[in-house]
Chain A
Amino acid sequence: MQPCSREMQAMNSLLSPTQPIPLQDLQPNGNSGTHQAQIHNPQFDPTSSHDDFLDQMLSTLPSCSWSDLKSPWDPPKSDETPPSNPDNNAGFHYDEILASKLRQHQINGGGGGTTAAMKMMMQQQMLLPGRPIAAAGGGGLTMPLHNDIVDGSSFKSPNQQGGEGSVQALYNGFGAGPLHGTNNQSPNQPQHFHHPQGGNMQTQSFGATAGTVMNQSQASGSTTGGTPAQPKQRVRARRGQATDPHSIAERLRRERIAERMKALQELVPNANKTDKASMLDEIIDYVKFLQLQVKVLSMSRLGGAAAVAPLVADMPPEGGDCVQTTAGGGGSLQRNSNGNQPSANNDSLTVTEHQVAKLMEEDMGSAMQYLQGKGLCLMPISLATAISTATCHSRNPMMNKGSSSNHPLLQSNGDGPSSPSMSVLTVQSATMGNGGLDGSAKDAASVSKP
């Protein structure tokens, strides 16, 4: 049982008090919070790609609080409802990951029972809250132990019982002993359940009988599949032993997805969502934001002094004077961290501006959110233009707009029809100094005239 021994060692190390430190190192991305400064892994190795069980366990360890895993053991019900307690999920993941890894090492062929048994064995050993119930109890637990990892509802039961209560159980054995026996037979379960004492002994015996149990479990697994019995039993069988290869594959798949989502959670800021869908939304927004940042940065690097920052600021129109400035002194990304303002001058770039505006349109909310999260902010264009007009030319390109006459407040409403939602552009406040604006407006007028 090579994998078992390795896992045992891993567990031993796990239970040592020095967990936090190695955990950090073993995170797939190297560091959870400080990724900015410390992205130095040449290769990104998510734990799932490793065959290394240790990584998995260590990475998922902090998320599960074993004490929270206590909950009344539900008699085998076919509740597939996701547990209310997120910690349970975490614990489940942990167990599931272990289980899946173990499974991978094992003979998969038809050994649904075996894998389930092994998994359950591991689970109950992992869930160690000081429960007097012995591993045997956990064995009985097998029933509710369904292989649906993500739901984790079934784990409630294992938690209860699996509460091996003794750390020694962990050390002793990956004896899947009790699990197997109880898989198919309901009468056995109550017996196991009432086994609370002698946990150690039992675990030891489990370890001893692991081999035999495995065989048993295989047989039992097959029989379980064929046992029609009462509906209760059938349910139990289904949950405890997914002998169907499809469901096993499904389970594996879901486990992997959950792992990856967790890894992603650490990379993406504001990732405190527990819901998978919202987490994915966050991820999508973050990727869009990063891509937008690359675009903006490449635009701003077009030259030394006269860099271009055709950004747009989503400012509400002021008093009906909704002004649009194309590519204007754009609400440049003010980099608080560096204290540098990337660029003050703005040349008119209709095309780029449209592109960027389009991007910002979609993402504005999330973009702003991320900016704030990173300590950046979008500067209102009025402010930026104030700075730029102070220096020199603020060419407010009314390019194709053609329509604007010498309105003191630069109106470029030509944009309106083309992109209705582009009310996003600058706001030239009336206080901005009409003089400057007039000058620029005249400029614009001259420019725009064909």
Chain B
Amino acid sequence: MDSQHLNPSSLKSRFTATFLRALIKINAQKPISSSSPREIFQRYRRIKVAADKSMAYSVRSRRTWSRATLWKLRSRSRSRLASSGRRSSVKTRTTTTTTTTTTATNHRAAIVEKTSHEKENKEDHVGLAVQAEELRELVPGGESMDLCNLLDETAHYIKCLTTQVQVMKKIANLYSLE
């Protein structure tokens, strides 16, 4: 496994590099021993976002789900910057995030409505409409894909998620060892 990890161009190493960089940056921003639950939650959120983001970056735009994730993150940060400015309070940030999420959801809902009709026609034929919908919600960017591509994306997404979990586990171990 080590030899594989050393492969500089593998998904795993790309993700690890990006994620570690982001993690260092986050740790530098705030002191680790923040006590307020709100702050801790914020930090958790930032880390999670960093993890997803770095994973999406590692995949670039080769996949629909990575493109969707990157787009989501970028639009969120853009709106955040636009509305609340950089140094906003925690509360504002949270609300902005929620609003952005809602707008994104609305947008996505529109797309879903538009394409769901034809999709349902096709999928009822195969009889898997319900699960397909659920899968679409899970996989980022899955709303506008037919079942065939959706399964494709799901497979790649699963692969990347497992990589992510693996790397994060190892990092967590390192942390806990200290």
Contact = CB atoms under 8 A, between A and B. Distances in A.
Given A39-B12, A42-B10, A257-B126, A350 B37 contact: yes
Binding site secondary structure of chain B: helix
A294 B148 contact: no
B131 interface: yes
B43 interface: yes
Given A263-B155, A347-B40, A280 B175 contact: no
A268 B151 CA distance: 12
A307 B178 CA distance: 12
Contacts of B126: 254, 257, 276
A40 B11 contact: yes
Interface string B60-74: 001100000000000
A6 interface: no
Interface stretch (B47-55, B75-83, B97-105, B112-120): B47-55
Contact of B164 (A257, A261, A294, A300): A294
Contacts of A232: none
B4 A38 contact: yes
A261 B151 contact: yes
Interface in A300-328: 300-308
Interface in A253-271: 253-254, 256-257, 260-261, 263-264, 267-268
Nearest to A280: B131
Contact of A340 (B40, B44, B139, B176): B176
B9 A42 contact: yes
Contact of A256 (B37, B52, B128, B148): B148
Contacts of B156: 44
A9 interface: no
A286 interface: yes
Contacts of B35: 347
Interface residues of A, number: 64
A262 B51 CA distance: 29
A301 B47 contact: yes
B155 A260 contact: yes
A283 interface: yes
A341 B44 contact: no
Nearest to A37: B1
A302 B47 contact: yes
Contacts of A276: 126-128
A306 B41 CA distance: 14
A275 B33 CA distance: 50
A306 B43 CA distance: 14
A293 B158 contact: no
Most B CB atoms within 10 A — which of A36, A38, A287? A287
Given A293-B165, A298-B47, A298-B51, A264 B155 contact: yes
Interface in B139-170: 139, 147-148, 151-152, 154-159, 161-166, 168-169
Interface residues of B, number: 59
Contacts of B175: 301, 303-304, 307
Given A40-B7, A281-B131, A287-B135, A304 B178 contact: yes
A281 B134 CA distance: 9
B125 interface: yes
Given A257-B147, A260-B152, A298-B168, A280 B159 contact: no
B59 to A, nearest CB: 9
Nearest to B9: A42
Contacts of B127: 276-277
A250 B125 contact: yes
B32 A301 contact: no
Given A29-B159, A290-B162, A335 B33 contact: no
A291 B161 contact: yes
A49 B12 CA distance: 23
A3 interface: no
B151 A260 contact: yes
Most A CB atoms within 10 A — which of B63, B131, B155, B162? B155
A285 to B, nearest CB: 10
B155 A294 contact: no
Contacts of B37: 347-352
A46 interface: yes
A277 B40 contact: no
A431 interface: no
Contacts of B11: 39-42
Contact of A39 (B52, B122, B147, B163): B163
14 contacts: A35-B159, A37-B1, A40-B4, A44-B156, A254-B126, A264-B151, A276-B128, A294-B161, A297-B172, A298-B51, A301-B175, A302-B32, A308-B44, A341-B176
Interface of B: 1, 4, 7, 9-12, 23, 32-33, 35, 37-38, 40-41, 43-44, 47-48, 51-52, 62-63, 122, 125-128, 131-132, 134-135, 138-139, 147-148, 151-152, 154-159, 161-166, 168-169, 171-173, 175-178
Given A257-B147, A307-B175, 20 more contacts: A37-B1, A40-B4, A253-B122, A260-B148, A267-B155, A277-B127, A280-B131, A287-B135, A288-B138, A290-B162, A293-B161, A294-B164, A297-B165, A299-B44, A303-B175, A306-B33, A335-B173, A338-B169, A347-B37, A351-B37
